[in-house]
Structure 1
Amino acid sequence: MSISSNEVRRQFIDYFAQKHAHEFVPSSPVVPHEDPTLLFANAGMNQFKDIFLGVDVERGRRLRRAVNTQKCIRAGGKHNDLDDVGRDTYHHTFFEMLGNWSFGDYFKREAVEWAWDLLTDVWGLEKSRMHATVFEGAPGQGIERDEEAARLWRDHTDIDPSHIHYGEMADNFWEMGETGPCGPCSEIHYDQTPDRSGAGLVNAGDPRVIEIWNLVFIQYNRGVDGKLDALPARHVDTGMGFERICSILGGKTSNYDTDVFGPLFTAIADITSARPYDGSSKGGGDPIDVAYRVIADHIRCLTFALTDGAAPGNEGRGYVLRRILRRAVRHGWQTFEMNEPFLWRLVPAVVDAMSGAFPELTGAGDRVAEIVRDEEKAFDRTLGRGLALFDEAADRGGRRISGEDAFRLHDTFGFPLDLTEVMAEERGLEVDVDGFNARMEQAREIARAGGGGSRIEPALVELVQKGGLEPTSFEGYVRTEISYSGTCSLYRIEDDRPVAVDAASDGEAVAIAVSRSPFYCEAGGQVADTGAIVTDSGEVRVDRAIRVGDIVFHVGVVTSGTCRAAGDGAAISLTLRVEEARRRKIMANHTATHMLNRALRRHVDAEADQKGSLVDDEKTRFDFAHGSAMTAEEVEAVERSVNHDVAADMPVYFDEVPQEQAMKINGLRAVFGERYPPVVRVVCIGVPVADLMAEPGNDAWRDYSIEFCGGTHLAKTGDAEGFVIESEEAVAKGVRRVTALTGRVAHQAEAEGQRLVGRLEALRGADPEQLEEALAPFIRETESVTLPLRIRTALRESVQKLQAQVKGHRKKTSRVAADQVVDQARQIADSAQDGVIVASIDGADAATLRTAMDVIRKKRPDDAMLLAAASDEKVAFLAAVPKGLIEKGLKAGDWVREAAKMAGGGGGGRPDMAQAGGRDPSKTDAALEAARQFAAGKLGG
């Protein structure tokens, strides 16, 4: 059958949503904002991870069956397809994953039956071309052969029994990462050989027999120790490569021959004037077709990643995107001779082709194109020279690009190692990767990028999965201290793993879980609370509060006495006390962040979407989408606007409401990519939430700060006491960062700024010499203290003007001094008589001493001369001897060295010209006398 890609997507979703009661769940962003263990969303199950782990209990109860198409990127980390893209006709960095899920509902039988029904009855694929694989087992890990799945294929479908194959762990056991949900899987492969003879090619990586659907039966969790434990409930996670199934249903042998890529190939041909893509007839290795595939794939990947909040950079996902972009640019440069930015011009083609299925692309195209263009410009400046260096290295002979050359390509010209490896492979060469890595180790002072951080969180996840812990009720919105009586689970932390204990003593690290807590856990950019847990027998300093599902763990150290557990119906009395002064500062900064967000939209950019934030007790740091630096006027306007809101002392309202209704509030701001629960907490400054909900479409609401937020806030804006912007800077292309202060810290910064303004004003009347001496320490002081940005900017501008005055005065005095030196030199030349001149030049330095020498030599070319210039700390000597006197024995180098020696220094040079220096200017006269005697001795005077 022939079917469009849009129809394939629609029919898949409708089959499960309408026929089998699955809920359609929109794709999560490819940037996993809530999962720091992933660079990119690489599978449909990423957004459901907490359900599989059993820690998102509420969502797991509500969502039993789901279907969607997920945006995925596999270009870094465990799942990485980047190296294969372009070389074959079925790998991609960006792709869609069609999937259906069961969360503790149906299992293997339904998954197998429905997959077979959709493929053969709905889409009409030939049953005789279908093969299924099942897991052969791993006795060494205690995992049995999956005979259940094999039986289901035999008994519940009409697949040819000889087409059921057993596969090893690498092919038929699916794992999301080093840790996390996993289980055996059954893959469906499609035989595209003309005579259906591809049974021996299953799982062989041959494009003629290709995997089209993976049915994963999630029943285990792999812990940080590598051990597999059974999950609380069994789940199904299936994934079908959208691009692959489109090619099969369209009767194509290549994913790139479908209408998914057709519009992009047309756009590439238009921009490059290259011959049309002809992958089907030319074969996979044609360099022009390879370039088409690489560029089309990579611009899709870049467009989606940048739309979803990523940005090119030097670390993590930013570096992966930079590698992808540069790989595409290199193909354009070498294959299509595109020696100027071109990739950015393809962004509209991606938006046009994909925005129907993914509406978030609409409106993002201009910003994405600008980021891509700027990245291309930066790489273009070094690409040509880097390619020349590579050619030079490749032409040296041998079979290998040295590690030193690979490092230079990376460090100087921005060539990622894998790009160099691809280029080397194209010439039949290898790269000395070990040598490259050794040079990289020498070049950096810190370890290469990695997951980082403590391992306590995954260990706590495992703990929650085992069950038996009471959910924690958060009471921190209304109080910062509670008296608690009930069960208490106590764990001593050993090597980042919690070990259940009955008691912990002074100095031991612990994690404590109770059913009520005032401690806020880090979320939404706000840091976790700190404080203490006090019992009759001891006290624990709480350094972090970590939420895993419904459980809050209070992590810290026993600071006195003994802390005890209470379980099995027993109860313990304790007090949980948040550090209130710190919490107040955090609340002030968080409420100020909301006011800042509103002010930025009003005075800088109405589309300034939030890209991230950090709220702690010292500052608020807010990242937002904006293409250029804020002007001084914008900084002042934003600061003035927030302070106006602070002075207005407006009440801060919050309430929990259904998300579906809250989304209708006019002017609501939500963080793009954030997954919100069915019931959300709305925080509004100035208007009760009930009023918003009563009239959600009111245009007046657009003038207020209205956000989804689970953080802690002030009761009134006036409690922030004040607000200043400390800095504004770029953190990525198209993303700016504002750091701001509130309360006492803001007032201190303001007072410090005014003090420095007064000091600088006092300097304006100083004479130039005093001013020059005072400016250097003043500049150091301004750079070392916390100041409002507007004051720091004004001080810098004023300092620059004063420095210009000093510079002008210095030039003027230098000219006067130079004139005086020339006058002295003329007088010395006019009064000289015996062919040897030894003299001191008052007010000269090293530069003007040479000027004096030139003046004298012009008048007395046959004379030998040695001049001195003394300052407070040193003395300089300069000597010149004509050829005739050199022949008589006087050499400038020896002469000047003799003089300098008397002044505690040294030097030397050529026989005709030499210079030296002394450390004791008080000996200048003695040095000159020594010079006269030395010359007389050589010349017989």
Structure 2
Amino acid sequence: MNSKDVRKQFLDFFQSKGHLIVPSAPIVLKDDPTLMFNNSGMAQFKEYFLGNATPKSTRIADTQKCLRVSGKHNDLEDVGFDTYHHTMFEMLGNWSFGDYFKEEALPWAWEFLTEVLKLDKDRLYVSVFEGNEAENVPFDQQAFDIWKQFVPEDRIILGNKKDNFWEMGDQGPCGPCSEIHIDLRTDEERAAVTGRSLVNADHPQVVEIWNNVFMEFNRKADGSLEKLPAQHVDTGMGFERLCMAMQNVTSNYDTDVFTPLIEKVEQITGLKYTSNEVKDISEEQNKTNIAIRVIVDHIRAVAFAIADGQLPSNTGAGYVIRRILRRAIRYGFTFLNIKEAFIYQLVEVLADQMGEFFPEIKSQQNLVTNVIREEEASFLRTLDQGLQLLENVIAETKGNEVAGAKAFELYDTFGFPKDLTALILRERGLELDEAGFDVAMQEQKARSRAASEISTEDWSVLIPGNVETFVGYDQTESEAKITRIRKVDSKKDGVLYQIVLDNSPFYPEGGGQIGDKGTLVSANETIQIIDTKKENNLILHFTKQLPENVNASFIAKVNTDLRAATAKNHSATHLMHLALRTVLGTHVEQKGSLVNPKNLRFDFSHFAKVTDEELQQVEDFVNARIQEQIALIERRDIPFAQAVEEGAMALFGEKYGDHVRAIKFGESMELCGGIHVQNTADIWYFKIVSEGAVAAGIRRIEAITGDAVKGFFASHEELLSEIKTALKNPQDSLKAVIALQEDNAKLKKQLDALLKEKAKNMKGELAKELQEVNGIQFLAKQVDLNPEGAKDLAYELGNLGNNLFLVLATAEEGKPMLSCYISKELVADRKLNAGLVVRELGKFIQGGGGGQPFFATAGGKKVEGIAEALEKAIEFIK
């Protein structure tokens, strides 16, 4: 059975059992601060388990894209080395929210596997929770008794808390689980060693395929358990592992989930991948196999993350995606000997293979391809740079071990991988101080944790069962009661409190718009709301202090000045989106935005710089819509399909419900939950202040509206007045500036010619000052030239002979600069390196720099350090 049929059979089966089939949520989470990525099938349903929202059906089934590369669930380092771990995988799941429980879930699981898919019953093992006396959770007798109806007792395994008690994190819903494992070994292997002994023992052919979790408890902050008000079922089945079982292979990578990608890598590299059925392969072939597994796994994770709106970057989720891609590139670079971008070519195969069920990978194919190609090219340049820097480190090393801290600096600053460093060192007969590297890594992680660590207490519930209402579309203040409170201890912000109200006019951060600020006012006091966010369908109001009487009645008041300025920028963002699609083409799609009271930032797909003329057209388009005074048409709670059919723009990577809110200004119509002006005239004026690239195929525009534009115009008018004064109030300021530039260019030409002549004249004088040190012509001296003149002089002196080591210092306008010239013969024979020289000497002038092995420069801030730098220069050749 091919993989598409496996997926369809699962969904059809549970649809026949009364389940609503829902699409996969985006792989990147945007409204859950506790998770970067969807790491399990249940992540998108957390609000239902917590009782903060009501599901559209009490029975749901789906296949969820999951990513396990950070936090508690992190499989990254296992990927490639075994045949069954992945970064991205599909989780087939069926869910019951307070509906059915173990009596239905376990028999259905057995029915699907053995009667629908017809897997061999004798190869299946099941496990149940053995209980935990310390937590007062008993042995799962009910699950054991149900399984006895289908499975011999010798294939029912009792599992401990680690294996058979599932938790979504340190706090939250949890409960005992019952796993189903399959033994895919040969009959001979099964006869020799029982599969029971290999369950949960990391055997590559005895693997868990399905986990039935019974959500009965809530884990509190102090570690204790309390019963949930309702019992839920949360199941997850590894799609790739199930395909392995269905296709009679012993590796996920030998299924049709991966073989098309593997075949493409073989075609590109000319290397062959050997299936898991082939035994006794060479060490070289094993390295090739691992590298190909890494690449075909990682392309799936990276491609779907980008399609869902997460671009590679240097922070947060974007850094994780960049790290996954760089791991793939490095394996291709090191073990497949591919020194140019190639992984992007796999996107087309992936889109053809999975685009039918996951349309986002097909519709975003061009963007994904271009982003990956540019990321590859960039990292390959980094690898080249890292190789040069590694040569410098090797040159500095005394003995046969390179300091771990130095290797970590290469890794941390330039992304140069540790194992590639170790490989190159081994080839040079050197070793890496791995313990020192690990210490530096742990120190960095500790610093990172200290900066971002957050601990939360349990909620103190004041009004049980209350579901919060958002009233902020219609009012900016409301009478409210506090329903729950939680204390948050953040290393970054200190102690804060999160307050939930029975109703709130405060807009919580989302859709690019920042959260509202304002106050909670009672009869006796005023509490400042410093931010508003949403978590698991709760609106969290952040404060630095709690009210003296938390049971009082309050007036919740939004800061209307900030709200109005934000609304102008948000509505202008919609108009600009339409303008960009009109001016540049309909390929333009929003890829990120930030809307706050000061300005707006908008990221969009486009593969060329936006010209000044195009930017002016966009600006004119938006201002024309402002001049037209278009009234807002807001439609709430309309069916998603109807809104899209009527022309509403839906953004990839956003999670939409069955009913949505649409915002319309003339031809601009978008699905949006944010705050907007009532009429485009309220925006007053729209002004673009910058445009640039943020990633391959992604451009960013920053713009301002309203009072910010008034301030912008006023400051420019003041600047123009100051320029006129400085130019002695000419009749035509522009002509005066042009004339000044022309005069300056002429004078610069004359000055450059004079300095070149001066350098030539100085050559003869300095040649007499050269001294011989260890067979090398040496000179370290400060000269009265600019840096360009010093470079000319260095090259002039370099023409005199083959053994020159020269350090020249300049201090033009109080800015110290060191220039080092080394004859190429000395670079080759004596292993001298000008880049290393200026990096070390640059410390004396509080600066740094680099360049080529034969010529390099370093700039700094401390002129007084020049003398010491020149004095130390001789030590490089002593």
Q: Normalised by the size of structure 2, how large is the TM-score? A: 0.78
Q: Helix, strand or coil for the counterpart of 1:30? A: coil
Q: Give a deviation string over 1:655-706, Cα, whole Å, max 9, x none.
A: 21322343343431122222223322211113xxxxxxxxxxxxxxxxx111
Equivalent residues in 2 for 1:487-502, closer than 5 Å: 488-489=482-483, 491=485, 493=487, 495=489
Shift in Å at residue 440 of structure 1? 5.8
Q: Offset of 1:513 from its aligned partner?
A: 4.8
The aligned counterpart of 1:471 is 467
- Contact 2:605 / 2:699 at 8 angstroms: preserved in 1? yes
Q: 1:90 aligns with which of 84, 88, 107?
A: 84
Measured after TM superposition, the shift of residue 722 of structure 1 is: 1.3
- Of residues 131, 156, 162 in structure 2, which corresponds to 1:164? 156
Alignment partner of 2:634 out of 654, 658, 665: 654
Q: How does 1:782-821 map to 2 (within 5 A)?
A: 805-812=743-750
- 1:106 to partner: Cα distance: 1.0
Q: State the match for 1:734 in structure 2.
A: 697
**Residue of structure 1 equivalent to 2:674:** 711
Q: Please state whether the residue corresponding to 2:73 is helix, strand or coil.
A: coil
**Amino acid across the alignment from 1:16:** F
Residues 127 and 179 of structure 2 are in contact (CA less than 8 Å); yes or no, is this contact kept in structure 1? Answer: yes
Q: What displacement does 1:229 show? A: 2.9
Question: Is this contact kept in 2: 1:521–1:552, CA < 8 A?
Answer: yes
Q: Is the 8 A contact 1:539 1:558 kept in 2?
A: no
Question: Matches of residues 477-488 of structure 1 in structure 2 within 5 Å?
Answer: 477-482=473-478, 484=479, 488=482
Pick aligned residue for 1:626 from 580, 589, 606: 606
Aligned to 1:184: 176
Matched to 1:326, the amino acid is R
Q: Which structure has the larger Rg over C-alpha atoms?
A: 1
From 511, 514, 518, the counterpart of 1:531: 518
Q: Deviations over 1:739-789 (max 9, x none)?
A: 22111111111222243345446656799xxxxxxxxxxxxxxxxxxxxxx
The yes-or-no answer on 1:131 pairing with 2:125 is: yes
CA, structure 1 residues 443+96, in 2 after alignment: closer, same or farther (shift >3 Å)? closer
Q: 2:128 and 2:431 mapped to 1: Cα distance?
A: 37
1:110 pairs with 2:99: no
Q: Which residue of 1 aligns with 2:616?
A: 636
Look up the match of 1:414. Answer: 415
- 1:641 CA displacement: 1.5
Supply the distance in 1 between the matched residues of 2:490 and 2:33 (Cα, whole angstroms): 18
1:937 alignment partner in structure 2: none
* 3-state SS of 2:587 partner: coil
Partners of 2:510 and 2:760 in 1: CA distance: 73
Read off the aligned partner of 1:407 and give its amino acid letter: F
- 1:6 aligned residue: 4
- The answer (yes or no) to whether the contact 1:659–1:676 under 8 Å persists in 2 is no
Deviation at 1:493, TM superposition (A): 4.7
Give the CA deviation at 1:397.
Answer: 13
Cα deviation digits, residues 373-394 of structure 1 (max 9, x gap):
2122122224357569889999
Note the 1:300-449 alignment, pairs <5 A.
300-383=300-383, 386=386, 402-411=403-412, 413-417=414-418, 432=433, 435-436=436-437, 438-439=439-440, 447-448=447-448
RMSD, aligned α-carbons: 4.1
Using the TM superposition, give the Cα deviation of residue 330 of structure 1 relative to its aligned residue in structure 2, in angstroms: 2.6
Separation in 2, partners of 1:818, 1:324: 51
Q: Which of 740, 745, 759 does residue 708 from structure 2 map onto?
A: 745
The number of aligned residues is 758
Amino acid at match of 1:132: V
Distance 1:64 1:604, change over 3 A: same
Alignment pair present for 1:210 and 2:207: yes
Task: Specify whether residues 608 and 434 from structure 1 end up closer, same or farther in structure 2 by C-alpha distance, changes over 3 A only.
Answer: farther
Q: Distance in 2 between matches of 1:335 and 1:101?
A: 43
Report what 2:843 is aligned to: none
Q: Say yes or no: does 1:595 pair with 2:592.
A: no
Aligned CA distance change for structure 1 residues 801 and 29 (closer, same or farther; 3 Å): farther
Alpha-carbon distance in 2 for matches of 1:757, 1:93: 56
Relative distance call for 1:523 and 1:364 in structure 2 (3 A) is: closer
Q: Tell me if structure 1 keeps the 8 A contact 2:648–2:662.
A: no
1:48 deviates by 0.9
What is the CA–CA distance in structure 2 between the aligned matches of 1:49 and 1:543, rounded to whole Å?
26
Q: Equivalents in 2 of 1:820, 1:451: separation in Å?
A: 54
Instruction: Summarize the alignment of residues 625-704 of structure 1 with structure 2, pairs less than 5 Å apart.
Output: 625-686=605-666, 704=667
Structure 1: runs of 5+ lacking an equivalent: 498-507, 567-571, 687-703, 768-793, 824-844, 855-870, 874-918, 920-941
Q: Secondary structure at the match of 1:280?
A: coil
2:231 corresponds, among 219, 234, 244, to 234
Q: 686, 694, 710: which one pairs with 1:723?
A: 686
Q: Following the alignment from structure 1 to structure 2, what is the Cα–Cα distance between the partners of residues 271 and 97?
A: 30
Output the CA distance in 2 between the equivalents of 1:450 and 1:46: 26
- Measure the CA separation in 2 of the matches of 1:626 and 1:185: 48
Distance verdict in 2 for CA 1:820–1:130, change over 3 Å:
closer
Counterpart-to-counterpart distance in 2, 1:487 and 1:818: 79
1 CA distance for matches of 2:34 and 2:232?
22
Aligned to 1:700: none
Which residue type is aligned with residue 564 of structure 1?
N
Structure 2 CA distance, aligned partners of 1:657 and 1:582?
27
Amino acid at match of 2:467: P
Relative to structure 1, the CA distance from residue 271 to residue 742 in structure 2 (aligned partners, 3 Å threshold; closer, same or farther) is same
Q: 5 Å matches for 1:567-606? A: 574-606=554-586
Alignment CA distance shift 1:579-1:334 (3 Å): closer
Q: CA contact under 8 A between 2:470 and 2:505: conserved in structure 1?
A: yes
Deviation at 1:188, TM superposition (A): 0.7
Distance (whole Å) between structure 1 residues aligned to residue 736 and residue 455 of structure 2: 50
Moved more, 141-150 or 585-594: 141-150
- 2:241 and 2:620 map into 1 onto residues whose CA distance is 56
Task: Between 123-132 and 382-391, report the one with greater CA deviation.
Answer: 382-391
Q: How many Å apart are 1:520 and its aligned residue?
A: 2.4
Q: 1:872 to 1:670 in 2, by over 3 A?
A: closer
SS in 1 for 2:305: helix
CA contact (8 A) 1:55 1:549 kept: yes
Cα 1:717–1:379 shift into 2, 3 Å: same
Shift of 1:232: 2.5
% identity of equivalent residues:
40
Query: Cα distance 1:204–1:819, how it changes in 2: closer, same or farther (>3 A)?
Result: closer
Could you tell me whether the CA contact under 8 Å between 2:127 and 2:157 is conserved in 1? yes
Change (3 A) 1:241 1:387: farther
Q: In structure 1, give the amino acid aligned to 2:231.
A: R
1:511 deviation in Å? 5.7
* SS of alignment partner, residue 218 of structure 1: strand
Change (3 A) 1:529 1:412: closer
Q: Does 1:518 align with 2:505?
A: yes
| 2-structure distance, mates of 1:208, 1:426 | 36
Residue deviations 1:33-63, cap 9 Å, x none?
A: 2223223222111111111111123xx2x22
| Mapped partners of 1:563, 1:257: distance in 2 | 64
| Contact 1:73–1:94 under 8 Å retained in 2 | yes
Question: 2:31·2:536 contact (CA, 8 Å) conserved in 1?
Answer: no
**Contact persistence 1:257–1:280 (CA under 8 A):** no
**2:41/2:66 contact within 8 Å kept:** yes
Moved more, 83-92 or 105-114: 83-92
**Distance of aligned partners of 1:600 and 1:128 in 2 relative to their CA distance in 1, 3 Å threshold:** same
Change (3 A) 1:336 1:454: closer
| Separation in structure 1 between the aligned mates of residue 234 and residue 510 of structure 2, nearest angstrom | 28
- Tell me the residue number matched to 1:542: 529
Taking structure 1 as reference, are residues 367 and 492 closer, same or farther at Cα in structure 2, changes over 3 Å only?
Answer: closer
CA distance in structure 1 between the aligned counterparts of 2:203 and 2:760, rounded to whole angstroms: 87
